[in-house]
Chains A and B, each alone.
Chain A
Amino acid sequence: MNETAGVTLTRKDFESDQEVRWCPGCGDYSILAALQSVFPEIGMQPHDTVFVSGIGCAARLPYYMNTYGVHSIHGRAPALATGVAMTQPDLHVWVIGGDGDMLSIGGNHLIHALRRNVNIKILMFNNQIYGLTKGQYSPTSEQGKVTKSTPFGSIDHPFNPISVAIGSEASFVARTHDMDRKHMMETFRRAHEHRGAAFVEVYQNCNVFNDGAFDAILKKDARPDMLIPLRHGEPIRFGADGAHGVAVNRFGEPYVCEVADVGEDGLLIHDEHRPDPTLAFSLSRLSTGPHMPTPIGVFRDVDRPVYEVEVAAQVDAAVERQGPGDLAAVLASGPTWTVP
């Protein structure tokens, strides 16, 4: 709980007066609830928080948060949020978008915001489909996906969003899902605490156009054997009785193993802070889609200079060096002559 002028903020303080209009049963509801629940806990203030989104079902979220918000244009939210952060580096800036918004039309802005390490928290709701435009395949849809635009199955090879983020020099990369409020809250808290760009992939069920896309790993009884929780400093281990784990082969590649085969000491100890991204990247390759054991949690969390802080520092340094700007002096700094 956090307090402003003696008032304790609650989840209600982050709910706007707008009626939430996703389809009944949509996974977006639980993501919104997780955000509104965790914000009071992590000390967020409505007035210094900005939600920026592109276009899509996911991108409607800012309307429902009682903060500042911009529902912008398709794919451009990471860029727009960069402008917000550059102007007011003290704001808390969250970016919301779908898999199409972030990885198709907005892929370029996503990778550049990540490499610049702008202090924005990017939540990508991955439902592996275009929801708002009524069900075309997306850049994360599995190959062969039959949709209205691909009646004979899609030919495209999909992106692995975590791999894209790590390949884009992201300093914080995590995955969570809409079936586990606690895990989402914890992941959002971690993203908030990270200084710099945070990329969080949220598996989200679109029950209208891609229902059950994640059932193989997210159904309650499937989870123990299909989700690989990543916990910093701990051996990577999963399965109802902890029988499975992740070890590293002689090429340095992680693979899913039986603990009985490699022994507890043979398991990979997860290190979010490894400066080199190679291992985190390899972990993201453990599963090629939500039908096999899939890591969730924080893949990577490293410290890097924050873009807008550096921008401001250059401005400060220039003032320090040259004094505050004097336009008359600048205009007269080239060759001048006087006509009497």
Chain B
Amino acid sequence: MATHEEYYVPAQSKWPIVGSIGLLVTVFGAGTMMNNMTSGADSSLGQYVFFAGLLILIYMMFGWFSNVVSESHQGLYSAQMDRSFRMGMGWFIFSEVMFFAAFFGALFYVRTLAGPWLAGEGAKADTAMLWPEFEFVWPLLQNPDPQAYPGPTETISPWQLPLINTLLLITSSVTVTFAHHALRAGKRAALKGWLLLTVVLAVVFLTLQIAEYIHAYNDLGLTLASGIYGATFFMLTGFHGAHVLMGTIILTVMLIRVHKGHFTPDNHFGFEAASWYWHFVDVVWVGLFIFVYIF
């Protein structure tokens, strides 16, 4: 801590306000779209607002990160600054972990407590009286009220696509680590190769995941609206998939930056942050594979 280097405090920046406006426009558009969808009103205004917001956000991210990259290249950042970035990224990932924890918590709560109670276990006379025929098993194919929530006919077997996906993601965690080692050793060609391989694995994962979703919707009747199994299944794997998509974009940006000659063996926080994020996404997947697919 005893550094007496200057801590870089940027003078002014327009990106925060651009970002705030962008987020506001995005969520306003998204909300309008959803409300129209649910009420059956057909107005496309929401879509335009939503996409306008997304464009503003992309503009903001691009501008903001370019600023940071160029400041870094100008040598404005001290080791202390680097630590701030690391902490920022680390705690951000922790907050993401807690976001997933909410959904995992919901899954465990339903499976171990709420579900059995609904089927009459324990001294919960009234909940058991709601649907006397209801039996709780997991995966839940027969919902308490099958009229309102028709259940799935079948669930996804873990030992086909999900297993392949697990292997893909674990491999990609290894390849991104190899890329990191190559970067530190100054082996640029190896870095490019391993990083490219990571991105390819990620894209294959996403493609398979989409195939799985199509299969679930078309053949198994497993949908968001097919009761609590579908709800937890799609929200957990869906948010995970969204994070993989995000991670893939980040890794692709890193790949582009590597090709532009960015990063040195001892100054490459952007790359490291991307790989941390990627490992986090992998760990979440392992949790999903075990608790959503297998058990």
Is the A/B pair a real complex? no
User: What residues make up the interface of B, taking CB atoms closer than 8 Å to A?
Assistant: none
User: What residues make up the interface of A, taking CB atoms closer than 8 Å to B?
Assistant: none
